[in-house]
Amino acid sequence: MTIARTVYNTEELLGVYRDLEPAQEFWLSFFPSLYTSESERIEWSKITDYRHLAPLVLPTAQGRPTFKAEENLFSVKPGYLKPKDAVQAAAMLTRRAGLGEIGQAVPLSPQGRYNATVTAILQKHRSDIERRWEWMAAQAILNGTITLEDDGYPAATVDFKRDAGHTVALTGGARWGEVGVSIVDSIDSWNDTMADAKFGGPATDVIMGTQAWAVFKADAQVQKLLEADIRNTSGTALDLGVGNGDKVQFKGNLSRNLRIWVYSDYYEMPDGTIVPYMDPKDVLMIGQSVRGVKAFGAILDKRAGFQPLPIFPKMWENEDPSATMLMTQSAPLMVPVNPNNTFKARVLT
């Protein structure tokens, strides 16, 4: 039976891509803006923000200059992604579990399997690429840096210049759950640090790893706050009961302006190793002033016209060995423009 191995154009592939379910996005939700670069580098700048007072002068004296613009320019070459798979004609002749055929009364035709396989590969590419976007967003927010490293890819670190004091590890006598340690006071202090920092701002969200949450919800002061705020006068309303098993759980508010989340999502390495995006002992605070940007460099492919596209799928025929190839490309970098609006603490040993 002849199989028409259709080589779909980019517009058709993007149409399929848009219909596919995206990967779960939590950290990416803090990166609402989109920026595309027409070069292979991504550039952004920040003007130094001074909190100077206007100088006092006599009304008969000359005015005094105060304008002072200092620009910090960042230029980064993003990591490049290009998963590639073959659509083999021979695999179209038998039922395939991955296409949901097993157990069906009427199997797919070979042509139907071909089209379903193209869709399945696109879905795999999309989920892998968007999971890498999510990983970059998590690294940028949690660490203030992204270290790009993989097999065959030399290690390179993108440093967003978060103040060193916005990453802390509590030591003996100061860790959560230890005698005399106020969890509420520590969160309050970290919020002040963020609010007072240059290009900082107050926190809107506190994201806790599972172990940090377990200690937090057992804290006597936290429970006392809930009891004292039975009429919800200060906005404290938390669900301290059994979780629902979701990898991202909203637990309520510690105050009117501070949401609490519990996070436990993970990704999988090629060897099967499970790696959490966030250490379960960590607490991350973040605010709306972080100004996260999903940035993308140009696609280095003449069929893409070297355009700055977030994602670019393409297909072509390979003659020897005979196969239809499907590849998806992306040049992403998740940029927290104001990383000082984040704060990470390791609260347990």
pLDDT by residue, tens only, the chain of 349 residues: 455 557 877 777 877 777 766 667 899 999 999 999 888 888 876 666 666 777 777 687 776 776 665 556 677 888 899 999 998 766 665 555 555 555 455 566 777 778 888 888 998 999 999 999 999 999 999 999 999 988 878 888 999 999 999 999 999 899 999 999 999 999 999 999 999 999 999 999 999 999 999 999 999 999 888 876 655 566 788 888 898 999 999 999 998 889 999 999 999 988 899 999 999 999 999 999 999 999 999 998 988 887 788 999 999 988 877 788 999 999 999 999 999 999 999 999 9
Here the CATH number for the domain that contains residue 284 is 3.30.1930.10
DSSP secondary structure string, 51-64?
Answer: -PPPPP--TTSPP-
What's the confidence (pLDDT) of residue 1?
47
Here the CATH number for the domain that contains residue 38 is 3.15.30.10
- Same domain assignment for residues 208 and 147: no
In a domain, 260, yes or no: yes
| 89 φ/ψ angles, rounded to the nearest 5 degrees | -65, -35
In a domain, 55, yes or no: no
- Same domain assignment for residues 113 and 149: yes
Q: Where are the alpha helices (DSSP H) in 105-158?
A: 110-143
Give the span between the Cα atoms of 33 and 335, in whole angstroms. 10
pTM of the model: 0.85
Give the span between the Cα atoms of 311 and 309, in whole angstroms. 5
- Same domain assignment for residues 141 and 188: no
Domain encompassing residue 229: 164-291+339-346
- Same domain assignment for residues 120 and 250: no
Residue that the structure tokens 């999988």 belong to = 268
Pull the structure tokens for residue 39. 């070069």
- Same domain assignment for residues 302 and 190: no
Q: Are 265 and 171 in contact (CB under 8 A)?
A: no
- Same domain assignment for residues 20 and 103: yes
- Same domain assignment for residues 30 and 144: yes
- In the chain, the number of structural domains is 2
In a domain, 58, yes or no: no
Give the span between the Cα atoms of 344 and 187, in whole angstroms. 11
What's the confidence (pLDDT) of residue 161?
93
In a domain, 67, yes or no: no
In a domain, 5, yes or no: no
- Same domain assignment for residues 328 and 261: no
- Same domain assignment for residues 95 and 126: yes
- Same domain assignment for residues 251 and 127: no
Q: Are 286 and 276 in contact (CB under 8 A)?
A: no
In a domain, 65, yes or no: no
In a domain, 88, yes or no: yes
What's the confidence (pLDDT) of residue 216?
96
- Same domain assignment for residues 248 and 274: yes
What's the confidence (pLDDT) of residue 109?
73
What's the confidence (pLDDT) of residue 247?
94
In a domain, 69, yes or no: no
- Same domain assignment for residues 140 and 199: no
